[in-house]
Amino acid sequence: MMEPTTTTAAAWAAALSSVTLAAFGMDYYSLLYGLVGAMMAMHSAEAMPRLRAVLFVVLCTLVGAALGNAAIALGGMVFGVQALQPGATRALLILGCVVGGYGAQAILARLLGRALERVDALANGTAKPPPEAGSPGGKP
């Protein structure tokens, strides 16, 4: 007979797994290992305000989890589905999520920086108009 604590923990784990799978389309292991990669990236990043840091960690976690799942799919396509044993799949998921979460730091920092520059330019009225159709680079 199982202890009440074990049963409660199993029920919470199942609920957490269901919620994350429904909300993000990926299991909580992917999100957990993506969070590990995001925390590693946060450790090596420059100091930033609290809201930006939270946004940074959330986005790096989601990108890391997505890249970990993509690593499994790519590994299955390259090596064949039969070549990926359950243990190898888990290792590939962990590696993909941690590396993806850590590597998302550079990508997201650049994307967020460019987005903020664009918003500032639009707010100040100094944004460049889009290039004209049919001319390379907008030059006649």
Is residue 128 in a domain?
no
Q: For the purposes of burial, counting CB atoms within 10 Å of the CB of 22, is it exposed (0-12), middle (13-18) or buried (19 or more)?
A: exposed
**pLDDT, position 112:** 78
Question: CA-CA distance, 16 to 37, in Å (whole number)?
Answer: 20
In a domain, residue 116? The reply is yes
Residue 69: CB atoms within 10 A of its CB come to 20
Residue 43 domain flag:
yes
pLDDT by 10-residue block (mean), the chain, 140 residues: 69 75 76 88 82 84 87 75 63 85 83 83 74 57
Would you report the helix, strand and coil content of the chain in percent, each value rounded to 5?
80, 0, 20
Residue 1 falls inside a structural domain? no
- What's the pLDDT at 22? 74
In terms of residue numbers, what domain contains 36?
25-123
**What is the predicted pLDDT for the residue at 43?**
83
The dihedrals phi and psi of 69, each to the nearest 5 degrees, come to -70, -35
Residue 36 within a domain: yes
* pTM for this entry: 0.64
